Every structure is written in C-alpha cells, then in structure tokens.
Structure 1
Amino acid sequence: MGRGRQKAKATRQAREIKYFSPQTDYSALERELSAAKDRRAERDDVHSNEDEYSGYADEYGDDSTEDR
C-alpha cells in the first residue's frame, strides 16, 4: 500500500474510533463496581484482624538483638 493510501486509512480509522460511542450498560457497570467494593471490604476485614508484620515475628523474633 502506498503512503497516501496508508495515511488515508489511518485517518479514517482514527475518525471511526473518535466518534464511536457504544451503548453503555449502566446496570452491568453498577454490578461490576459493587462486586469490586464487596471484595475489597472482605479483604480489608481479613487484614484488619492481623498485624501486617506478624508473619515475620516468629521467623525473626529476638535474633535481631543478638547481632548488636
């Protein structure tokens, strides 16, 4: 394809993308966002009961004071 035809095709495709407006399903969007919020709340509940670094306490315990 020559440069002129290639540029015309790119311009046509860019124009199609720019003015393309699909129908938005707002109820599906609402379901998706509420599900993400529910998952985030569940994840926060699990982590709120446990100290962020408690998993390291058993492994590294009192050894850090012996190195000094």
Structure 2
Amino acid sequence: MGRGRQKAKHTKIARELKYDTYSVNYSALERELHPEGGEPEYVDKWADQYTDEYEGEKA
C-alpha cells in the first residue's frame, strides 16, 4: 500500500473521531468508577503472608 493511500486512510479515521458524536452512558460509567457495594478499592491479598522488612528496626 502506498503512502498516499495510507495517509488518506488515517485522515478519514481522524475526521471520524473529530466530527462524529458518540453517546456516552454516564450512569454506567459512574457505576463502574464508584461501585455500590462495600468493596474496598484495593486489597492486598498477600499482605498477611509477609512481614514488613522494617518491622524490627528502631530509628
């Protein structure tokens, strides 16, 4: 494929992204970002198997 055809394809895609309107489901996005359950954001499931490397040291 020549450079001209490749550039035309990229230009077409860029115009589609710039001018097309997309519908966004904001309620679904909000549910995904802020779940309703009491689920913590991050749980380290391996933390209880290892000791802290600075646990016994004094400053």
> Structure 2 length as normaliser, TM-score?
0.51
| Larger Cα-atom Rg | 1
* Residue identity matched to 1:29: L
Alignment-mate amino acid for residue 27 of structure 2: S
Query: Where does structure 2 lack aligned partners over 5 or more consecutive residues?
Result: 44-51
Q: Distance in 1 between matches of 2:30 and 2:21?
A: 19
Question: Shift in Å at residue 34 of structure 1?
Answer: 2.1
1:60 deviates by: 1.2
List aligned pairs for 1:51-66, cutoff 5 A.
55=52, 56=54, 58-61=55-58
Structure 1: how far apart are the matches of 2:16 and 2:22? 12
Other-structure match for 2:13? 13
Is 1:24 the counterpart of 2:21 in the alignment? no
Q: Percent identity?
A: 51
Equivalent residue pairs, number: 47
* Residues 10-62 of structure 1 deviation map (CA, whole Å, 9 limit, x = unaligned): 11111112223321111112212322xx634x87xxxxxxxxxxx43x4213x
For the pair 1:4 / 2:12, whether they are aligned, the reply is no
Larger helix share, 1 or 2: 1
